[in-house]
Amino acid sequence: MAISPELLEILVCPLCKEPVTLTSDGNGLKCAKCKRVYPIRDDIPVMLIDEARIEE
C-alpha cells in the first residue's frame, strides 16, 4: 500500500512547513525547500526532524 494522494496533499515539512513530495523510489517524502527526506516505514510517513536525512 502506498501513501494516498489525499494524505500527500496535507503533509508538510515539520521544519519549514513546505509541502513534501514522494521520492522517486517511493521510500521517502522530500521537502524541496530544506532538502530533508523523511522516511516511510511500513507505509507510515515518519515526519520527525531527527529522523530525516538531508539530500541535495
- Smallest CA-to-CA distance from 8 within 19, 23, 24 is with 19
What is the model's pLDDT at position 56? 85
Provide the grid cell at 26.
517511493
Report d(CA 38, CA 21) in Å as an integer.
Answer: 10
Domains of the chain: 5-54 (2.20.25.10)
pLDDT tens digits, residue range 1-56? 578 999 999 999 999 999 999 999 999 999 999 999 999 999 999 999 999 999 98
What is the model's pLDDT at position 3? 87
Q: What is the pTM of this model?
A: 0.91
What is the model's pLDDT at position 2? 77
